[in-house]
């Protein structure tokens, strides 16, 4: 009966996430409460995820990424890379996409795209190149870079947190080789995937991307005729925006924010006709006429995901804080990389110098020195993502406790009975686990996908008496490889509105990249693990 109930809860959760009636965190929290009411998990297991080091590390990395964004270091990097003379799309992408991937390996993907997308868009217009040739590759490059390290994406930290939880509870047998993920554990396969993906984005993707040149010149011309002190801004709304599902005639945008809405873009396309009577959705981007006070007041608000002053960039902070930020981030990465080596552990026996430790120290120093606003720090954290991650641990435990994970895992093993006698069976099982996880991440969220797939990987490895690490690595790649739809990853939604992309554009460019990552993952993981 518990397997039956868990099946119903997971199906209901999946449908709710696809229908998008509530935020993902609340949907997963509802599933956790139902499992607790049915006795599938205990109250302690229901809330254990909220104290997990992986979840708290994700929260602190949001603040570290905000500090880096405020410092202006990334702007300096991208300005030095963008050509000052017109060159081809391929040459332009080759100059900055590898750097973008390298940065996203150590920073949260969303702020990297939020910073770079407006700059690249404005640069492309000045060079008379179509911005649509650069923005999807920008989003995909950050995703590829995030696959290469433990801190590159929250998904990797979630999987590592589940591994730690399973080791402590005895669900993973250390004798079979189970262990937590190191900083560069994923790099052995991730670097091959990243480099191949970048080659595809530089050489092949531009031929598949649309050529959207319209709009930029019109906006620049409109800017010239604005009243003194006013400018056009591109504003991307979030689910917290109070005007969702209301029209602009019902919701007085000027009274709330002191700015006039001049146009609405939906799924990257401008709405024609009387847009004032169109109900707003969370995928909409607004073109507003406002002064500098609007930008100052709302640039860090959770109501808007991004505000881009068309043709301008934010003034960075002083050079002293900029260098301090750079030093702190480098020390954080180095500390997390070497902190768990035996020599360091022997030197500092009372300290566990891991990613959590280094991120915590870096966050506090950034707050003390004012690199990010210590009074407004809660605005920079995506709380819904954290709730989703915390609840993912409880749902994963419910799938294990009920026997649901073992049942599905055994079916996957049945698909590859030759696994006990031939190496081909390993590829079949990895492929099945990858496809299940990747389907989940394209339709729901990457962290929820990892939560559903983790107990399956654990069950498969336990059934075969194998090292579970390759299956966990497979989940990390599959849950991050969201290229075929704009809804699977937040960075895709950001560039969709800015680049004027349709859903089909992501499908056309993303499906081949999904296939590349799938094949490389399935065939390389057994070679390295």
- Per-residue pLDDT of 2-18, as tens digits, reads 889 988 998 888 788 76
Burial class of residue 192 in the structure, from the number of CB atoms within 10 Å of its CB (0-12 exposed, 13-18 middle, 19+ buried): middle
Token readout for 423 is: 């190496």
What is the value of pTM for the model shown?
A: 0.76
User: How high does pLDDT run on average in the chain?
Assistant: 82
Task: Count Cβ atoms within 10 A of the Cβ of residue 348 and give its class: 0-12 exposed, 13-18 middle, 19 or more buried.
Answer: exposed
| Local structure of 221: helix, strand or coil | helix
- Go through the chain and tell me how many residues it has: 529
More confident residue, 293 or 300: 293
pLDDT of residue 515: 95
pLDDT of residue 216: 46
Q: Is the pLDDT of residue 160 over 50?
A: yes
**Residue predicted with more confidence, 148 or 374:** 148
Where residue 215 falls among pLDDT bands split at 50, 70, 90? very low
Give the pLDDT band (50/70/90) at residue 418.
low
Question: In the structure, what pLDDT confidence band is assigned to residue 30 with cuts at 50, 70 and 90?
Answer: very high
Q: What is the pLDDT at residue 268?
A: 62
**Sequence-separated contacts (24+) of 383-387 with Cβ below 8 Å:** 383/25, 384/23, 384/24, 384/25, 384/26, 385/25, 385/58, 385/154, 385/447, 386/25, 386/55, 386/58, 386/59, 387/25, 387/26, 387/28, 387/29
Residue 285 corresponds to which tokens in the numbers above? 């981007």
pLDDT reported for residue 306: 73
CB atoms < 10 A from the CB of 338, how many?
12
pLDDT tens-digit series, residues 306-324: 777 765 544 456 678 888 8
Can you tell me the mean pLDDT for 224-229? 68
Strands, E assignment, 129-283: 231-237, 260-266, 269-270
| Mean pLDDT for the stretch of residues 143-158 | 89
Residue 453 to residue 459: CA distance in whole angstroms: 10
Q: Which of 193-202, 236-245, 421-430, 467-476 has the lowest mean pLDDT?
A: 421-430
Residue 167 has pLDDT above 80, yes or no: yes
The three-class DSSP label of residue 344 is helix
- Alpha-carbon Rg for the chain, nearest whole angstrom, is 23
Q: What is the token pair recorded at 413? A: 């093993």
Q: Is the pLDDT of residue 510 over 60?
A: yes
Q: How far apart are CA 348 and CA 187, in angstroms?
A: 27
Phi and psi at 307, nearest 5°, equal -125, 120
Residue 222 confidence (pLDDT) above 60: no
Would you give the DSSP letter of residue 244? B
Q: Tell me the average pLDDT across 44-66.
A: 85
pLDDT of residue 217: 47
Give the pLDDT mean for 188-208: 94
> Predicted confidence band at 221 (pLDDT cuts at 50, 70, 90)?
very low
pLDDT of amino acid 37: 94
- Quote the percentage of the chain above a pLDDT of 90: 19
Structure tokens at 427: 């590829």
Can you list the positions of beta strands (E) in 155-303?
231-237, 260-266, 269-270, 284-290
pLDDT for 197 beyond 90: yes
CB atoms within 10 A of CB 212: 18
In the predicted structure, residue 415 carries a pLDDT above the cut 70: no
260-266 and 284-290 strand pairing? antiparallel
Query: Residues 391-411: what's their mean pLDDT?
Result: 81
State residue 474's pLDDT score: 94
pLDDT at 484 (0 to 100): 85
Would you say residue 529 has pLDDT above 90?
no
C-alpha to C-alpha distances, 262 to 17, 156, 214, 497, nearest whole angstrom: 32, 41, 17, 15
Residue of 280, 298, 383, 446 lying closest to 23 (CA atoms): 383
Q: What confidence score (pLDDT) does residue 488 get?
A: 66
What is the pLDDT confidence band of residue 359, given thresholds at 50, 70 and 90? confident
Alpha-carbon span 171 to 186, nearest angstrom = 22
Please tell me which residue, 167 or 318, carries the higher pLDDT value. Answer: 167
């Amino acid at each position: 009966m518990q397997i039956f109930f868990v099946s119903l809860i997971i199906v209901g959760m999946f449908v709710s996430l696809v229908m998008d009636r509530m935020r993902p965190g609340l949907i997963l929290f509802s599933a956790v409460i139902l499992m607790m009411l049915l006795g599938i998990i205990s109250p302690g297991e229901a809330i254990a995820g909220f104290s997990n080091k992986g979840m708290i590390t994700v929260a602190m990395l949001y603040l570290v990424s905000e500090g880096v964004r405020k410092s202006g270091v990334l702007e300096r990097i991208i300005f030095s890379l963008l050509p000052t003379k017109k060159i081809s799309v391929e040459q332009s992408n080759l100059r900055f996409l590898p750097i973008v991937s390298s940065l996203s390996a150590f920073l949260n993907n969303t702020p990297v795209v939020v910073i770079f997308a407006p700059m690249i868009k404005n640069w492309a217009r000045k060079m008379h190149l179509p911005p649509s040739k650069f923005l999807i590759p920008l989003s995909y490059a950050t995703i590829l870079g995030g696959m290469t390290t433990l801190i590159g994406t929250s998904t990797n930290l979630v999987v590592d947190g589940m591994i730690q939880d399973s080791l402590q509870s005895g669900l993973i047998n250390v004798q079979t080789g189970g262990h937590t993920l190191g900083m560069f554990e994923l790099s052995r396969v991730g670097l091959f995937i990243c480099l191949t993906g970048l080659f595809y984005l530089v050489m092949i993707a531009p031929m598949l991307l649309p050529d959207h040149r319209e709009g930029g010149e019109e906006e620049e011309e409109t800017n010239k005729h604005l009243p003194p002190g006013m400018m056009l801004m591109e504003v991307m709304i979030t689910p917290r925006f109070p005007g969702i599902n209301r029209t602009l005639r019902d919701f007085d945008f000027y009274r709330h924010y002191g700015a006039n809405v001049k146009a609405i873009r939906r799924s990257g396309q401008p709405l024609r006709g009387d847009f004032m009577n169109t109900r707003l959705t969370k995928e909409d981007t607004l073109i507003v006429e406002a002064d500098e006070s609007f930008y100052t007041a709302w640039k860090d608000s959770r109501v808007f995901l991004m505000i881009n002053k068309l043709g301008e960039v934010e003034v960075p902070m002083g050079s002293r804080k900029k260098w301090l930020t750079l030093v702190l981030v480098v020390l954080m990465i180095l500390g997390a990389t070497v902190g768990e080596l035996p020599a360091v552990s022997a030197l500092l026996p009372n300290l566990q110098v891991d990613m959590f430790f280094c991120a915590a120290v870096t966050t506090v120093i950034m707050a003390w020195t004012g690199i990010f606003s210590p009074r407004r720090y809660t605005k920079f954290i995506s709380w819904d993502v954290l709730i989703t991650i915390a609840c993912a641990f409880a749902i994963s435990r419910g799938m294990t406790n009920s026997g649901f994970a073992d049942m599905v895992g055994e079916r996957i093993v049945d698909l590859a009975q030759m696994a006990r006698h031939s190496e081909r069976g390993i590829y079949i099982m990895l492929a099945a686990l990858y496809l299940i996880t990747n389907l989940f991440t394209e339709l729901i969220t990457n962290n929820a996908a990892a939560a559903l797939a983790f107990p399956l990987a654990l069950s498969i490895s336990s059934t075969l008496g194998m090292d579970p690490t390759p299956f966990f690595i497979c989940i990390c790649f599959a849950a991050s490889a969201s290229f075929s739809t704009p809804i699977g990853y937040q960075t895709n939604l950001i560039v969709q509105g800015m680049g004027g992309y349709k859903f089909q554009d992501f499908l056309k460019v993303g499906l081949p990249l999904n296939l590349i990552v799938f094949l490389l993952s399935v065939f390389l993981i057994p070679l390295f693990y």
